[in-house]
Amino acid sequence: EVQLVESGGGLVQPGGSLRLSCEASGFKFTSYWMTWVRQAPGKGLQWVATMKQDGSERYYLGSVQGRFSISRDNARNSLYLQMNSLRDDDSAVYYCARIKGERGYLYSQGMDVWGQGTAVTVSS
């Protein structure tokens, strides 16, 4: 079964750090670009970061650039999101997702496999 399972969310104070993990199974992880998308409570979807199969390209939402870092360990079929200097407006459910097709970050065919999400709450 094709699956993504996130972990690592929780409650953190403003200025703190968290590392999210996403473990992939049921497909060839090394063949896909992977991405993080978040959804604040009661709000819509927001793309956060994307990484190429071999890690040679990484892209970030402007408001997280310099604070968040996306990485992957292809040997462990895992994707990560290191989040530093967290702010209240980073509170959201964070989803890991697979980008469909071979075109990659742009001109893509969307995100065809999603995890269940992990909740991050930034609050004092």
Partner 1 sequence: DIQMTQSPSSLSASVGDRVTITCRASRSIASYLNWYQQKPGKAPKLLIYTSFTLEGGVPSRFSGSGSGTDFTLTITSLQPEDFATYYCQQTYNTPPTFGGGTKVEIK
- Output the smallest distance, CB 49 to partner 1, in A: 10
Considering only 7-15, 17-25, 73-81, 98-106, which stretch makes contact with partner 1 by CB under 8 A? 98-106
Nearer residue to partner 1 within complex by CB, 31 or 107: 107
Tell me: does residue 110 bind partner 1 (CB under 8 A): yes
| Shortest Å distance, C-beta 75 to partner 1 | 26
Q: Is 106 in the site for partner 1 (CB under 8 A)?
A: yes
Residue 59 is a binding residue for partner 1 (CB under 8 A): yes
Check residue 41 for interaction with partner 1 (CB under 8 A). no
DSSP assignment string, the chain? --EEEEE--EEE-TT--EEEEEEEESS-GGGS-EEEEEE-TT--EEEEEEE-TTSS-EEE-TTTBTTEEEEEEGGGTEEEEEE-S--GGG-EEEEEEEEPSSS-SSS---EEEE---EEEEE--
User: Interface with partner 1 by CB under 8 A: which residues?
Assistant: 37, 44-47, 59, 61-62, 95, 97, 100, 105-112, 114-117
